[in-house]
Amino acid sequence: MAKYLDLKKTYNKNALKEASRYIKEGKLVLFPTETVYGIGADGLNAEAVKKIFIAKGRASDNPLILHVSNYQMIEQIASDITPLEKKLITNFFPGPLTIVLKRKNHVPNVVTANLDTVGVRMPENKIAHDLIALANTPIAAPSANISGRPSGTNISDIFDELNDKVDYIIDGGETKVGLESTVIKVIDNEIHILRPGKITYDDLKKYGKVVIPKHILKEVDKNDQVLSPGMKYKHYAPNTKCLLVYSSNHNKLIAKMQELETANTLVITNEKNIKNFKNAISYGSTLDEISHNIFKILRSIDKKNYELVIIEGVKAEGLGLAIMNRLIRACSHNYLEI
């Protein structure tokens, strides 16, 4: 059973010293960030990082992100940082943005899936930031969940799933954002969004041309090599069959969802639309609320014994692009646009 540290109500940096020692000893620590919870290990210790893949049941060709606490750590693991990359780091770090940079040779291949690049992020969550600083090493940390399952945004959702697979659990309460970080890569001085998140197209376009690849809302071929986590394999998915439905015409959307609804169907919808269905729950009224709530709701679905879950989609722009990216994968690409 993992050691447990409760920091939901009171915070003291000194309380993290034991957890940071676990990181330095090559053990696994489950900790909060502002996006989702992560399973962390010393990112420069290949044997420690391998334990993450075992704990999650994660494919080895799915790269990890290295989390840092200061700019010196970035220089420790990345080289040939371009002026545009430096500008993006200056303006978005710390925060929910990951930048794929050219790696230095001592970064273990297991972290990068044998790529010559590495994803780098500086969390703004104080617990995460201080844990990294105290451990004094970049921490490799994918989302805290068994691979394929929805990411964890609070400890109660993931405790039973991971308690016997990690060495230390830090409980910092609900995460703020609820979706994993935006992942970008600068290619030919253009900003390519590899995985959408809280940092949006509009946020990034102030600094250069932004490219959104077609795969963001489509299925990635299993033989393709990917630069970002969370894009290749079945991800964010409950076991219950889910169907995502979207239309820019609100009346058509409601009518189609009502047509698909049966006695053993759950509808997940906007707060204002609940009244239109026999059995529905709200994922919120704003994109920020949906982002914050959606993984928690997806994790609750399998306890309800429904044959089908119908999820109302959102317009795929701004934060809505990240939400639709996660929901399409949660529904195993069962997506109906009308």
pLDDT of residue 221: 59
* Separation between Cα atoms, residue 194 and residue 117, nearest integer Å: 13
Q: Any residues with CB less than 8 A from the CB of 289 and at least 6 apart, and which?
A: 283
Q: 92 — phi, psi (to 5°)? A: -120, -10
pLDDT of residue 224: 56
pLDDT of residue 222: 57
CA dihedral 101, 182, 28, 112 (to 10 degrees): -30
* Separation between Cα atoms, residue 123 and residue 40, nearest integer Å: 13
DSSP 306: -
* Angle between helix 126-135 and 17-24 (nearest 10): 50
Q: pLDDT, tens digit, for every residue of 205-254? A: 999 999 999 889 887 655 555 556 555 555 678 889 999 999 999 999 99
Q: Which domains does the chain have, with CATH numbers?
A: 3-217 (3.90.870.10), 242-337 (3.40.50.11030)
Q: 168 — phi, psi (to 5°)? A: -150, 135
* Separation between Cα atoms, residue 152 and residue 143, nearest integer Å: 7
CA distances from 142 to 43, 52, 90, 217, 229 (A): 11, 8, 23, 21, 8
Report which residue type is found at 208.
Answer: G
Low-confidence ranges of the chain (pLDDT < 50): none
pLDDT of residue 234: 57
* Separation between Cα atoms, residue 89 and residue 78, nearest integer Å: 12
Q: pLDDT, tens digit, for every residue of 103-153? A: 999 999 999 999 999 999 999 999 999 999 999 999 999 999 998 889 999
* Separation between Cα atoms, residue 235 and residue 237, nearest integer Å: 5
* Separation between Cα atoms, residue 73 and residue 42, nearest integer Å: 13
For the chain, the helix, strand and coil percentages under 3-state DSSP, each to the nearest 5: 35, 20, 45
Q: Which of 35, 24, 21 lies closest to 65, judged by CA?
A: 35
Contact present, 74 and 68 (Cβ < 8 Å): yes
Contact present, 41 and 206 (Cβ < 8 Å): no
